[in-house]
Amino acid sequence: MTAIDPYPVALDDRISPPRPRVGLVAGGLGAYWPQFPDLLPQLRRSSDRVAQRMRELGADVVDVGFISDAQEGAVAAERLREAGCDIIVGFLTTYMTATMLVPVAQRSGAPVLLINLQPTKSMDHTSFDTGQWLAYCGACPLPEMANAFRRVGVPFRSVSGYLEDERAWQRIGRWVRAAGVRAALRRGRHGLMGHLYPGMLDVATDLTLVSANFGGHVEVLEFDDLRVRVPEAGTAEVTAKLDQTREIFELTGSVDADDLDWAARVAVGLDRLVDDFGLDSLAYYHRGLDGEIHERLGAGMILGASLLTARGVPAAGEYELRTSLAMLVMDRLGAGGSFTEFQALDFDRGHVEMGHDGPAHLAISARRPLLRGLGVYHGKRGWGVSVEFDVTPGPVTAFGLRQDRDGRYAFVAAEGTVVDGPHLTIGNTTSRVDFGCDPGEWTDAWSGTGISHHWALGTGHRSADLRAVADLLELDFVEVRP
């Protein structure tokens, strides 16, 4: 998987997500082998090379070998079903019949990618005989597979090229990354702590729909689950967290020492919470009342949630479960993914200003992030420290999850560029994004998709990767390009 290059101070405890598991089956028509004795050894060498390249993409490869007929295809299907792969790659080395791969596609429980990679860019037409030509004939069965897959109800996708075709391997790598993201969602444990921010109808999420659309598990948590862990934070742990904070952040003069100490204690409690419940992401909110402990916990979350997000455990405020999931997708694609909403439109410069108070993905900060002390969080109870930064200038992607009336999710994305310009200094993340059009028109087009008022902002242009993930999840993909 693509790794994030963190902002100057790398987090020692950044998680290493599981590698995607790729099932590989190569095949060709067995009738050819006695006719052309040199053909099968050549095709096996190509299959070995494909397995090597898959491992170089960061995948664990389950190679079930070479199949030559429908019976061997059925055996391979059972082996791949038992292996629990995240994606099955069928390598069409030469002509083969659909009966050889349809059982694999039907039984594996994983999406299937067919690849047709001939040995070189082109044949030597003046010297090749039939056996040598057949090594270049992987394209021949591709329409047959597509037709059969469509008729048996199996989604179809393919990549064609030649064995060392880097353009083809870029596309293959995109499918492997997408399979890794799909696996992270299907196996993920997603924490939801506290209660809905009152009145936010767009944020409200039916928890069953998370499992219906993605798989995975939503662990419903109380703020009391955090409350009982914060007092367990020992002096050494809190001191280490404060040292880490001073190393990563620039502290402004507005940061109160007691507030910083409290935020560090909450951060230690959050680490324990995540470990105890085995969480891959977290969304939270608690309103609280009159400075009581739950209000103080809710107000003390930003530091710890930002550090968790940079570690690879995205945390989003305001009970935004779908956005914490979007942040997880972006993180696993190597894009970071920071909690974001509209802040303002700058019609003088043609920019959309976006960001949020609360947790941020520190690894994509343009410079050393700031901690600012705030006497009030706008629209929320409590006080404490908040994170202020701008996402690294350059290409970015806004990405969120839409929930439709029928319960289906959809991916919504737009590519833009973070550019320079003035920023407010109010303890919020803020980025100026140029989407190449009038900011008002872009805002209307983005909002018109039905996206909620929060999303993830990540580095790089990621629409192609996100489209692949949506395809593997069988979700709609909406790209905003007004």
Interacting residues of 344 by C-beta distance below 8 A, sequence separation 6+: 353
Compute the distance between CA of residue 200 and CA of residue 341 in angstroms, rounded to an integer. 14
Q: Tens of pLDDT along 238-269?
A: 999 999 999 999 999 999 999 999 999 999 99
Distance CA 274, CA 307 (A): 12
Number of other residues whose CB lies within 10 A of the CB of residue 84: 13
Q: Are residues 173 and 205 in the same domain?
A: no
In a domain, 9, yes or no: no
> pLDDT tens, 442-451?
999 999 999 9
Residue-level pLDDT at 1? 39
Complete DSSP assignment for 98-143: GGGTHHHHHHSSS-EEEEEEESSSS--TTT--HHHHHTT-TTTTHH
Domain final residue pick, 159, 185, 211 = 185
Domain check: are 289 and 397 in the same one?
yes
pTM for the full model? 0.94
Residues 161 and 260 in one domain: no
Give the domain range for residue 81: 21-185
Please give the pLDDT value at position 2: 41
Q: Of the residues 116, 151, 185, which one is the last residue of a structural domain?
A: 185
Q: Measured between alpha carbons, how far is residue 125 from residues 36, 128, 264 in Å?
A: 18, 6, 70
User: Which amino acid does the sequence have at 211?
Assistant: S
Helix (H, G, I), strand (E, B) or coil at 451: coil
**pLDDT higher than threshold 80 for residue 458:** yes
- On the question of pLDDT at 51 being above 60, the answer is yes
Residue 297 domain-assigned (yes or no): yes
pLDDT at 10 over 60: no
Could you give phi then psi for residue 182, rounded to 5 degrees?
-55, -40
Q: In this structure, what CATH number is given to the domain that contains residue 121?
A: 3.40.50.10940
Residue in this structure with the two tokens 């900011």, named with its chain if needed: 439
DSSP letters, 384-427, are EEEEE--BPSEEEEEEEEEE-TTS-EEEEEEEEEEE------SS
Same domain? For 360 and 312 the reply is yes
Output the CA torsion sign for 29, 33, 39, 43. Answer: positive
Task: Give the Cα separation of 108 and 92 in Å (integer).
Answer: 18
Residue 2: inside a domain, yes or no?
no
- As a whole number, the mean pLDDT across the chain is 94
Among 185, 208, 242, the domain-final residue is: 185
Does 11 have pLDDT greater than 70?
Answer: no
